[in-house]
Structure 1
Amino acid sequence: MHLSHEEEDHNLSLSKFESMLKTNKVLFFDSEEFEDIILHYMDIGKSSLAKKALKLALEQHPKSTGLKLVQVEMLVFDDKLDVAEKMLNELYAIEPTNEEIYIQKANIHSKRDNHEKAVELLKIALKYTDDYADVYNLIGMEYLFMDDLELAKENFIKCLEEEPEEQSNLYNVIYCFEFLEQNQDAIDFLTNYIDGNPYSEIAWHQLGRLNYGLKRYEDALVAFDYATLIDDSFLGAFMEKAKALERLKRYEEAIENYTETIRLDDPTSYALLRIGKCHEKLGNETDALQFYNRTVHEDPLLDKGWIAITDFYFRKKNYAKALYFANKAIAIDSENKLYWKRFAAINKALNLFEEAEYGYRKAVEYGDYQLDTWLFWTDVLQYLGEFEAAVQTLLQASEYFPEEHEVEYRLSGLYFMLHETEKGIFHLSNGLRQNYKKRTLIQELFPVIWERKMVQDYIEKHKK
C-alpha cells in the first residue's frame, strides 16, 4: 500500500519518539510534530504516552500556542474545566483570532450543558477558521444535544457541502431527516446528492434503506444494487439487498445475496435464518431445516431460530418434533413468552390440555398480552372445566381489551354456566352491542347456553 508523504512523516515521527523513550536520549521535534504525536496517542486512548509527549513538547517549545491548546484539550478530556478555561483566557489575550480557542471554549460550555453558549462561540470560530466543515459539524452536534433536529440538520448539510466527498457526514444528515420523520425529503436530498456524487456507495445504501422503510422494494433494490457494484465488499448493502429481494419473493436471488454476506464475513445467525426461510418458501424443506439447525447452532440465544424450526415441524403436524425443539428452546431461555406460547399450542394440538394451560399461563406470566393468547388460555381452562379460573383470566384480559366482543361473549357463557344469570346477561349485552354478528360465538363455545330460551329471547330483543 502506497503511503502519502504526510503519513510517512507521521509514522517516522512516532517511531523516532518511541525510540527516544526506550533509549532515554532526548531528541528534538518541531511543535507540529509534537502536536501530531500527542493527538495520535489521545485518539488511540494512550493518555499516559500523550501526557509524556506533552511534557517533553512544552519543555522544548514553552511558548507554542498550538501545544498549549493541545494541553487545554487534554485538560477538558480529564474534566479539569476550570484550569482549561483559565489557560484559554490567557491564550485569548495573545491570539484573539485563533479559532481553536473558541472551539475549546465551546467544548467546555458543552460539557457544562450550556449548549447555547457553545453554539455562540462556534459561530465566532467560523469567522476565523479555514476548516468550515469541522465547525459546522460541531455546531450540528450542539443542536443535537439541544434536541433541535432542524438546526442540527441544517448545519450537517452545510458541513457536507464543504466536504461532499466525506461520506461519513451523510449519516448525520440522514439521522436528522429520519428522526424528524422526513423520509421523503431525505430521499429527495440523497437523490440530489447522488447526482453530484454518483459513486457514493454510502448514499446509495442510505437511499435503499429509506425506500425499503417506505415499502418501495423495487426502488430499494436498485439502490442497494448500485451500492454493491461500487463496493463489492459492502456487507451491509448485500444484506439489505437480500432483504429487498425476499420481500419481492425473488427467493433464489435473496439466497445468493445472503450467501455473499457469509462469504465476506463470518456467518451471522440472521443470514442463516433468512436463507432457511427462503428455502422453505421455495419448497426446499431439507435445505431449510439444515439452515435452521445451523442458525440455532451459531446462536442458541436467537429465539427466531428456535421458533423457525419449531413452527416448521408444527406446520407439518409433526408435533412430537415440534415439542422436542420447543422444550430445547425453553431449557435455554425459560422466560421467553414466544417459546411458551408455542409449547402451549403444540400440547393443545396433542390434546394435552393441562400442559397447554400451563404453557399459556407461563406465556402471559412472561409478558404475552396478545388477545389470542388470553382466548386460547381461557378456552383450554373451559375444556378442563375450570370455569372460575377461566372467568378470572378473562377479567384480566378485559383490562387490556375493554371493548372486545370475544372476551364479552366468553364471559357471558361462563357466567351462565356458573348460574350467575345477571352477570351472564350483562356481558351478553356488551357482546351484542360491540359486535352483533359474532353472537354465534355463544353457539360455538357454549351450545347448551345458546339453546336456552331466555338467551334466545334476549338476543331477539336486542335485535329489535
Structure 2
Amino acid sequence: MNYSQNDENFPLTRFESMLKTNDILFFDSDEFENIIHHYLENGKIALAKRAIKLGLEQHPTSINLRLFQVEILVIENKFSEADDILDMLHDLEPHNEEIFIQKANVLSKQDEHEKAIDTLLVAIDMSSTPSDDADLYALVGMEYLFLDQFENAIIYFKKCLETDTTDYSALHNIVYCYDFLDKNEEAIEYLNEFLDSHPYCEVAWHQLGRQYFAIKEYTKANAAFDFAIISDDTFVGAYIEKGKVLEKLKHYEDAIENYKITLALDEPTSFALLRIGHCYEKLGKEDMALQFFRKTVEEDALLDKGWIAITKFFMKRLNYQKALHYINKAVNIDGENVLYWKLFATINKRLNFLEEAEQGYKRSLELGNYELETWLDRSDILTALGEYEAAIYNLIQAAEFYPENAEIEYRLGGLYFTTLQTEEGRFHLKNAVRLNLDYSFIISELFPKLNDRPMVKAIISESKKASN
C-alpha cells in the first residue's frame, strides 16, 4: 500500500494497516493521541483501547495517553481504577488541570456533583487559557444543573459565554435555567443585554422571540424572529417560530408562507406540514388543509398529532366513516396511544357500533386514561348492551377514583335496581339524591323502565320535597 506523507490521516491508515498485519510500527505520542481521539469521537471504543495499550507500550510515561485510559475506564464505569491512575498522575504532575477535569468527571459519574464542582474550580484556578476557562465554566454549570441549582448554573454559563461569545450551548442553557425558574422577564432582560453587544446573533434573537412568545407578547416575538432571519436567512427554527406567532395573530396566509420557506430550506418536517394544514383549515380552504394533513402522516406515521388532525377534520364534518378509516390506521400503527383509542371509541359510538366503542373505552382505561367521562361512557355503553354486571364492576372501579360522585351513584342505583338487587339499588340511589338531586334525570334517560318503580319514585320525590 502506498502512503502519502501529506495525508493527514496517514498515521491512522498506517495504524490500521499495522493491526491487520501484526507488524509493530512506531508512532510518536501525538500521533497516538490523534488516533485515540478519532476512535473515541466515532464511538469505536475497542479500537481506542487497542491504540491506548500499544501507545503506552511505546510511551509508558505519557500523561495524555494515561488520561485517555482514564476516559475509557469512566465509560466502562470502572471508577476505582480510574481514580488510582489519576492519583498516580497527580503525584507526577500536581498542576496539570486536565487531571482535575478527569477527576471531576469521575466524581460526576458517581453523582458526587458538589465534589466535582470543587475539583473543577481548582482546574479553573490552574488554567491559563481563556478558551479552556470557557469549557470549564460550562462543566461547572452542568454540575449545578445536575444538582437542580439553577441560579448557580446561570452564573457559570454566563461566565462561559463572557469568555467565549460563540458558545451557543451556554446561551441555550442560560435560557433553559430561566425557563425552569419561570423567569421570562429576567431571560428577556439578559438576552437584550447580550444582543446590545452581539446584534447579529441569530440564536439570541431566536431565544428572545421564544421568551416573548411564552408571555404572549406576540408582536415583540414576531420582531425578534424577523431579526433572527435577517441575521441568518436560512435559520429554519426562526421561520417555524415566526409561523407559530403569526398563527396566534391570526395572520394565517403569512404563517403558511413562513412554514413553506422551511420546506424549501430543509427536508420537510411533519410539524410544518401539520401547521400548514391547520392554517388552511382556519382559512376555510378544506381541500388544501386535507392535502397537508395527508402529507403530515405520510412524512411521519408516528406523529399522533397528524392522525388526530385528519380524524378530527372528518369528525367536524360529520363524516364518521372517513374518520373511522383514519383512526383505524392510527391504531394499527400505534396500539398503545390512548388518544387514538378515545377517538376510536367516540367515532364508533357516533356510528352506533357499540361493541367497538366499548372496546375503545376499555382500552383507554387500560392505558391509564382515568377521566370520569371515560368511565361513564363505557358504563353507558355496557348498559345499552345489557352487560349490567360488567357495567356495575366498571362503575365500582370508577368510584375508587371519584368517590361520592353523583353521576356514578345514579348509574349504580339504576343498575342494581335493574338486576333486582334492591337493597344495593336503594343505597346508591339515596346516596345519589343526597349528593346532587339535579342529576336525577339520569334514571329516566338510562333506565326508563324504572320510572314507575315505586321505591325509585319514592326516593326521588322524597328528596325533592325535602329540598323544597
Q: Same fold (TM over 0.5)?
A: yes
Matches of 1:418 and 1:46 in 2, distance apart? 69
Contact 2:440 2:460 (8 Å CA) reproduced: no
Matches of 1:148 and 1:359 in 2, distance apart? 44
Asked if 1:14 is matched to 2:8, the reply is yes
Alpha-carbon deviation of 1:294?
2.0
What is residue 113 of structure 2 aligned with on the other side? Answer: 115
* 1:120/1:401 CA distance change after superposition, 3 Å: same
Q: Structure 1 stretch 281-290 or stretch 412-421: which is displaced more? A: 412-421
Tell me the alpha carbon deviations over residues 25-71 of structure 1, each in whole angstroms, 9 at most, x when there is no partner: 97986x76765565444333455665677678778877665565556
Contact 2:311 2:323 (8 Å CA) reproduced: yes
| Residue segments in structure 2 that go unaligned for 5+ positions in a row | none
Q: Secondary structure at the match of 1:204?
A: helix
Paired amino acid for 1:458:
E
Asked if 1:144 is matched to 2:145, the reply is yes
RMSD value over aligned CA atoms? 3.6
Alpha-carbon deviation of 1:183?
4.0
* 1:462/1:419 CA distance change after superposition, 3 Å: farther
* 1:75/1:379 CA distance change after superposition, 3 Å: closer
- Percentage identity across paired residues of the two chains: 51
Asked if 1:308 is matched to 2:304, the reply is no
What is residue 399 of structure 1 aligned with on the other side? Answer: 400
Q: Secondary structure at the match of 1:339?
A: helix
Correspondences of 1:23-102 after superposition (within 5 Å): 35=33, 38-46=36-44, 69=67, 72-73=70-71, 76-77=74-75, 84-102=82-100
Correspondences of 1:123-138 after superposition (within 5 Å): 123-130=121-128, 131-138=132-139
Paired amino acid for 2:96:
N
What is residue 323 of structure 2 aligned with on the other side? Answer: 322
Contact 1:254 1:278 (8 Å CA) reproduced: yes
Paired amino acid for 1:359:
G
Q: Secondary structure at the match of 2:233?
A: coil
What is residue 268 of structure 1 aligned with on the other side? Answer: 269
Q: Secondary structure at the match of 1:14?
A: coil
What is residue 346 of structure 1 aligned with on the other side? Answer: 347
Contact 2:26 2:58 (8 Å CA) reproduced: no
TM-score (norm 1): 0.82
Tell me the alpha carbon deviations over residues 144-202 of structure 1, each in whole angstroms, 9 at most, x when there is no partner: 33443333333222222222332221122223333344444333333333333332222
Q: Structure 1 stretch 346-355 or stretch 259-268: which is displaced more? A: 346-355
Tell me the alpha carbon deviations over residues 269-310 of structure 1, each in whole angstroms, 9 at most, x when there is no partner: 332222222212211111122122222222333333333222
Matches of 2:51 and 2:360 in 1, distance apart? 64
Paired amino acid for 1:188:
E
Asked if 1:459 is matched to 2:450, the reply is no
Paired amino acid for 2:8:
L
* 1:394/1:142 CA distance change after superposition, 3 Å: same
Alpha-carbon deviation of 1:129?
0.6
* 1:199/1:349 CA distance change after superposition, 3 Å: same
What is residue 4 of structure 1 aligned with on the other side? Answer: none
What is residue 161 of structure 1 aligned with on the other side? Answer: 162
Tell me the alpha carbon deviations over residues 51-99 of structure 1, each in whole angstroms, 9 at most, x when there is no partner: 6776787788776655655565556556565565455445444543332
Q: Structure 1 stretch 284-293 or stretch 35-44: which is displaced more? A: 35-44
Alpha-carbon deviation of 1:454?
0.8
* 1:166/1:360 CA distance change after superposition, 3 Å: closer
Of the candidates 96, 103, 106, which is equivalent to residue 105 of structure 1?
103
| Residue segments in structure 1 that go unaligned for 5+ positions in a row | 1-10
Contact 2:409 2:428 (8 Å CA) reproduced: yes
Matches of 1:431 and 1:98 in 2, distance apart? 76
Q: Structure 1 stretch 124-133 or stretch 346-355: which is displaced more? A: 346-355
Aligned pair count reads 453
Asked if 1:221 is matched to 2:222, the reply is yes
Matches of 2:201 and 2:431 in 1, distance apart? 60
Paired amino acid for 1:42:
L
Tell me the alpha carbon deviations over residues 98-151 of structure 1, each in whole angstroms, 9 at most, x when there is no partner: 322322332333344433332222222222112322222222223333443333
* 1:296/1:81 CA distance change after superposition, 3 Å: closer
Asked if 1:379 is matched to 2:377, the reply is no
